[in-house]
Structure 1
Amino acid sequence: MLANVFLFVKWGKGAARWENFWIMAIAFTFYCFYNPEPYTSPQMVFLSTGNFVVVGRYVQWLMATPAISSLVANMTGRPRDYTLRDMFLVLTDVWAVACFIVCCLSTSFWIKITFYVLALVFFLIVFVFAGKSFGELINNDCPTETSRTTAKIVVVVYFVGQNVHTLFSTIGPEVGGFINALQAEIGATFGDLTAKVLFCSVATVLNFQVFMYHKRQAEEQQAEGGSELNAPTKGVLAPLDDGGQAEDAKEAKMTTKPTLQSGIVILAVPDLSMMPYFRAAFKALPANIELVPAIGPANTLMLTERAAQSGHLDCVLVHPALLHESTFDRPNLATRIKMLGQRVCAFGFDGSEGPGVGWMLDGWFDGPSGDEAVDQENLLHLLVVMQSLQKFKYSSTLAAAANAHPLPAPPLAPAPPQPQYAQQQPQQQYMQQPSPYAPQQPSPYAPQQQPPSLATTSMRMTAGGMPSFANNNGTNPLYEPAPSPGQSLGGGYGAPMSPLATSASMRVDRYSPQPQPMAIPQQQAAAPMQQVDAAVMQQLLTEIVRLQAELGENK
């Protein structure tokens, strides 16, 4: 009680809880008035059967029950509204204590049994609601591993104190009569000290740890960002990646106002207890975002792979509890989602979920905490950033595909006319020596064929007389196109010579400075075709000279 007063005076209501002060004050008042005269009314009531009931113990238990239930519902004191589950937790706890008091004061056996069974049913309901609240406390409200350990201690102390108090009241003289009054009083005192004093002390430590963590985080953000502490970008522009996309997103947010578009978000959670909060948050968004729940890692990966095929998946929101599951041969869920090429975010994440997890996330935001609603500003900005990054990824993919498969370059302009001696000298130079790759003597079993015309095998001519490479499979116009499936390839006895073999004399060796001369039949070509062939030959010779010069520089 004094510790809560000190915390409230030093740091305000965020560091201290009124529930802790109320519970400790009731326990302190009861023991101050009960210990001097324990066997006088109204501390003790004597029944007509000769038994007595310590009514003061149950009265202080009834007065402290609502505060204990309220503290269980919101252990860390995050600002939020109370929900229907919180009200059921408080009411069922009060009804359980009231039924137990009626059971103890009743002299009829059947009334005693009836109200005792009702009290047990209400206590079971209280434990179910308290278990859900403690689960959200450990998974969402505790930012560090130390606070999670303290929260687990709080859970153990709560259930031990509640069960010990109920157990000794059941086997005591009020109900069962298995032990005497002194033994029942010792057990009830131990239950009071555990369920009230020790529980409030550990809860105060937990609340102080969470409060100091958020206080340090706020000071660090204030030191780094200054006036940007209260901006909606807090905690959203997470590491993203090492490519500087976070800086690009910040600059884009400063220059243009982001807008949210329709999309799909997968929510990966251990159970469906948090779905109502996220459904309410997504309904309040300015765009129609479809929220798809996924239970567990396996279901999350399956739904992510299916939604990614549609191309409208914005990101995958992962519960912090699912980020811990990883083995030596299987990475965590965030890594596996990234391997599918999708964006992954986390809510309630602060970087303490394990090494190597934070840098795999594209973003995160705080909350929800218990029954606290999701922060709409952080959620909206997170989705806008994720959609922007998805658009950036698609545009980068298209650019990479365009770079990998560029359009054919426009044909080179024809070279200026040169003297006849300058035109004949390169031709004579290349006609001197044959290529080492050309066959020296054709097969005796293959019929003799003339090499195909250069204008009909290696290129397609356009209307203007310039060569077009649109139908060529390769990117180098000096290479022959691949044979069609209908053509018969050479290599067998009696088969016609392969086009690849017949055109080997026209291929240019990249590493040999002496190419094979290209022969053009002169008797079959008409006068217009001769002019076209001369222009093509001139351009090919120019290209060969340029390639040889580049190869010489590379050597």
Structure 2
Amino acid sequence: MRICLGLLAVALATLTLPCPPVNASLSKFKLFFGNSPGLVPNTTVAYGEELYRGFHQLEANGDWVVGPRDSCYCEKWAKSHGTKDEKLGAIVAMFIVFGSCVGALIFYGVAAWRTTCGWEEVYVCVIELAHVLIAIFHEIESPSTLYLSTGNQVLWLRYAEWLLSCPVILIHLSNLTGMKDDYSKRTMGLLISDIGTIVFGTTAAMSPPNYLKVIFWFCGLSYGVTTFYLAAKVYIEAYHTVPKGICRKIVRFMAWDYFGSWCMFPILFVLGPEGFGHISAYGSVIAHQVLDITSKNIWSMAGHFLRVKIHEHIIVHGNITKKTKITLAGEPVEVEEYIDSNEVDPAEMDQVQDKGTQALAHRQSFLVMRNRMQQKGVEVRASLDNSDRDQTENGMGGGAVTMGQWGMGNKAVGDPGAMGLGMVTKAVEEPAEKMGPLEPGRVILCMPDVALVDFWRLQFSSLPAPFEVYPAVGPDMTLQLVQQSLQLGGPSFCDFVLVAPDFLQNPSPSGLVGRLKMMGMRVAAYGWQPAGPMRQLVETSNVDGFLEGPTAPHGVNRSQFSALVFRMQQLKKMASMAALGAPPSMLPPTTSQHSTAVLASSVPNPLQSDSIPAAFPGQGLGTPTTANPLFSVMNSSPPSPLSSRPTVPAPMGAEGEAALMQQLMAEINQLRAELQQ
């Protein structure tokens, strides 16, 4: 920005440069004879119309011209730039460009404050503003225009502006989305070909009107064709990368604008004074000012709106991409398309990647746009929300352990009837490094089929503590496993049940989640999404915690997953302490939901009767009504809680009971200390 302001100051400083005198006294002028023979020096007469800067037509005699002393005047050269009407049109066109540049800079300034604004469009606008300011007052003066001994006119000011602005336009083109932090090999190719075009074009303008001019022009044209080829590949790839809808329409418009305006520059070169002089210098200025508006101002404005729309898409739908293969110049190319999580086809899950918003949380533009979108009532990405600021700063922004507040319905945090509060509310706020170590545990998976069983086994095996994973297909088998775990060790035998979103349709007490909670079991769910019907489904299911994902190929966020498991273990400890009769003042704060779940384990429940068959044969609860498809017929019993049945401890004396109470008190104090942090 400082560089842009400095260039603007230089352009304004040129306005103070001295110009040839117009209303100077006649004593400084010398008469030059036009058509009549003879010279009348030091003649004081009235002079009228200005033919050129400092040269005037005498009112008394149209054959005489008055001009600065020791200066010469060529009538043919003065008129070679164009007629008076063309000159007026050129000045008007330059003032229009000046006004559009000023308006664009004001707009970009407001956009940088309200949404986002790239440096490329601001830089190009400042360069164009400096160029038009100089051109308005010194367009045909040296060194803005170079007059060579060969009679050629070289508009060096125009070529200098191209050298300063066109490479930045191509840098913007190579990063249309604004999401890349570096530039690729293709960017370098665009810059090299563009510089070659301008260099050979300038050389052709300096060459005499013969075969040399034609040769250099074709050399520059070859570089320009290379630029167009690389730019076309960028546009095609960008079209398949940006989100569908308005973003793709903007990319298509930018492509038409780019090729339609840039292809006119070599044509104007041939027709203008640099080429073969079919149009005057002023006519060339008018045409180039029109092209400057379309190729720079309008194109940059469209690129700005494209980046804003992509920012909005990421803030609402997340940084989710899908790998898509396209054919580009006869070669297969793999691009990553920004998609909505609701548009994901289950058959294409292996091509979907959730890059997370952690790397974007440090960008002030994302935070500003998020706040303004929230003020308008737009649901934004959870990991960019204010409640997740600590989570993002501690490297947990890639996913979201979304527990607690979203499961409360319309109840306040302090409401004793609120769902999902207590220790669970800290899951999205407390960094993983502040949590205690995980303990070995057991978890039951409630899956619709066997597709994700191996995936979740892998996720639990990656935890720092060993976990026994018991899969079940469908609600019936899940209830059977929970029933057996309750008989083996009560509610504390199993840490929690991880439920697929397929079984969250019924949030009533007769649903799977309600029945599990009545049995005193903790329930977590996966499949939460930042937008769409899945978000409402999971948040209103009354589970104790829920997790975003999994998304291919990264699965779930490890830190978030560990936080979810840790909180489930804390809830299990709280239930165990409540069952042992710890004083209420010593228990950590919990919810009525958890208290009800604990009491349900000690009250006779029809769900715990013999009407529900055992999940595994030979355990005194009858034969299972359905075989578990996760295991073979010969060995239908999985490595279940029964295979690692704990031995019944011998009756303890007074010393053993005292030691148990001391251990229990130590755990209670540790939990209270963690809650107070």
State the structure with bigger RCO (CA 8 A, min sep 6), 1 or 2.
1
TM over 0.5: no
TM superposition score category, shorter chain reference: 0.3 to 0.5
- Report the structure number with the largest CA radius of gyration: 1
Structure in which a larger fraction of residues adopt strand = 2
Report the TM-score when normalising by structure 1. 0.43
